[in-house]
Amino acid sequence: MRYHSLGDVPAKRHAQTRRNGKLLTEEVLGYEGFSGNESILYHLHSPCRLSEVGDFEPIVRDEWVPDAHVHRLADANQVEPGGDPVGGRRLLMFNGDIEVWVCKPTETHEGFYRNGEGDEVVYVHRGGGVLHTMFGRVPFREKDYVVIPRGTTHRWELADGEQYWMCFHTPGEIETPNRYRNRYGQLLEHAPYSQRDFHAPIELDTIEDDGDHDLTLRVRDGFQSYVLDRHPFDVVGWDGYVYPYTFNADDFEPRAGRFHLPPPAHQTFQGPNFVICTFAPRMLDWDETAVPIPYHHSNIQSEEVMFYAEGDYAARKGVEIGCLTLHPSGLPHGPQPGTVEKALGAKQTNELAVMWDTFRPLRLTTLWQGVDNPAYAYSWNEEKAAALEAQPVH
């Protein structure tokens, strides 16, 4: 991210800074010790203050180990809404590099949340609202990726209506690819987005409140609760390179070629051993002999998950908006029968999909098991698939 600042920041770092005669508490929040990106925040009070230490609750992962290794389809539309924006998250898949949680919050987020062991990205498939953070307010809307660096104390305010989110957690850092940047860090002219497409906090709320406030901290593979004796948003100013932001999928400038381009053309973010890509509505490959949908490919070193967000995805049959496919390592995959012929000559696509590829195997949970469609594994075999359709899917 680029340098950003909100509120009052003194001319020099680490110098005496006062408000109404009282010294402010300076907090350096940074990655990689003191060598990575950082921001400096100025608090009215020490951010260490506690009123009470509460319980620690370990994360329980209900893994589902399927009987067979096959391509999979899950209809996450069937996941029941409920819970608040953090407690209502339900784990769908995970490995040591990434966790993906489905969240359809219906309840107000009480208290505050901070992830102390990972960065988060929330893809807002449906819904919107305001993310209140110690860095200021971050409005979010449908198709936003909301990126929240670790260490950011925050609270979600929900707009009215349906909310349907895919929440990513990684112990690594969420970054934009280096190949989109020049040697100074500025995004290149041919990157699929520019700095203008990334939206930092818009306004700082400085709250002086000595009441008790609940804080949940994700750390050590669990959730530690605390009661603070002050409101955590007592920041009068901050500056630096670390802060939450949004990027909307509609602002991704898609790339196309005379012949088909592979998924790295759609890459949006990366973390350790994974990428997140945006397949945005776009013009299709324009050579008159081009096949405008993906060629078959073997992900011999990765697992590929696709979340279908909008439009009509030409390479897939029987896959609805809000569903996911998992094409795991070791198996080739490609368009289903008939979809190639149908797509020939198409000039554009209205599909929107979010894809994450992991370079280490993914483990599924019982949440996936509950919405899994086992017939998908046979969907490249028309006769077998037709026979299965005649039977109830379990």
Q: In this chain, which stretch among 101-109, 140-148, 240-248, 301-309 interacts with Fe ion, using CB under 5 A?
A: 301-309
Q: Which of residues 225-254 bind Fe ion (CB under 5 A)?
A: none
d(CA 40, CA 113): 20
3-class DSSP assignment, residue 284: coil
Q: How far is the CB of 129 from Fe ion (least distance, A)?
A: 33
Q: How far is the CB of 99 from Fe ion (least distance, A)?
A: 21
Q: Whose CA is closest to 176, among 71, 284, 252, 94?
A: 252
Q: How far is the CB of 220 from Fe ion (least distance, A)?
A: 35
Q: How far is the CB of 64 from Fe ion (least distance, A)?
A: 23
Give first-to-last CA distance, the chain, whole Å.
46
Q: Which residues lie below 8 Å from residue 172, measured CB to CB, with a gap of 6+?
A: 97, 118, 119, 271, 272
Q: Which is nearer to Fe ion, 115 or 268 (CB)?
A: 268
Q: In this chain, which stretch among 150-158, 283-291, 303-311, 365-373 interacts with Fe ion, using CB under 5 A?
A: 303-311
Q: Which is nearer to Fe ion, 133 or 270 (CB)?
A: 270
What ranges in the chain are assigned the alpha helix state H?
339-343, 366-371, 382-389
Q: How far is the CB of 315 from Fe ion (least distance, A)?
A: 9
Q: Which is nearer to Fe ion, 218 or 333 (CB)?
A: 333
d(CA 93, CA 37): 29
Residue 364 CB-half CA count within 13 A: 25
Q: Which is nearer to Fe ion, 304 or 351 (CB)?
A: 304
Q: How far is the CB of 366 from Fe ion (least distance, A)?
A: 26
Q: In this chain, which stretch among 39-47, 104-112, 299-307, 371-379 interacts with Fe ion, using CB under 5 A?
A: 299-307
Q: CB atoms < 10 A from the CB of 333, how many?
A: 18
Q: In this chain, which stretch among 179-187, 252-260, 274-282, 300-308 interacts with Fe ion, using CB under 5 A?
A: 300-308
d(CA 226, CA 52): 6
CA-based R_g, the chain, Å: 23
Q: Which is nearer to Fe ion, 120 or 304 (CB)?
A: 304
| Residue closest to Fe ion when measured from CB atoms | 304
Q: Is the Cα dihedral 325, 331, 336, 339 positive or negative?
A: positive
Q: CB atoms < 10 A from the CB of 340, how many?
A: 18
Are 227 and 52 within 8 A, CB to CB?
Answer: yes
Q: In this chain, which stretch among 30-38, 151-159, 296-304, 361-369 interacts with Fe ion, using CB under 5 A?
A: 296-304
Binding footprint of Fe ion, residue count (CB under 5 A)? 1
Q: In this chain, which stretch among 16-24, 120-128, 219-227, 304-312 interacts with Fe ion, using CB under 5 A?
A: 304-312
Q: Which is nearer to Fe ion, 142 or 304 (CB)?
A: 304
Q: Which is nearer to Fe ion, 304 or 372 (CB)?
A: 304
Q: Which is nearer to Fe ion, 194 or 273 (CB)?
A: 273
d(CA 313, CA 318): 10
Q: How far is the CB of 356 from Fe ion (least distance, A)?
A: 12
Q: How far is the CB of 113 from Fe ion (least distance, A)?
A: 34
d(CA 206, CA 226): 21
3-class DSSP assignment, residue 387: helix
Binding site for Fe ion (CB under 5 A): 304
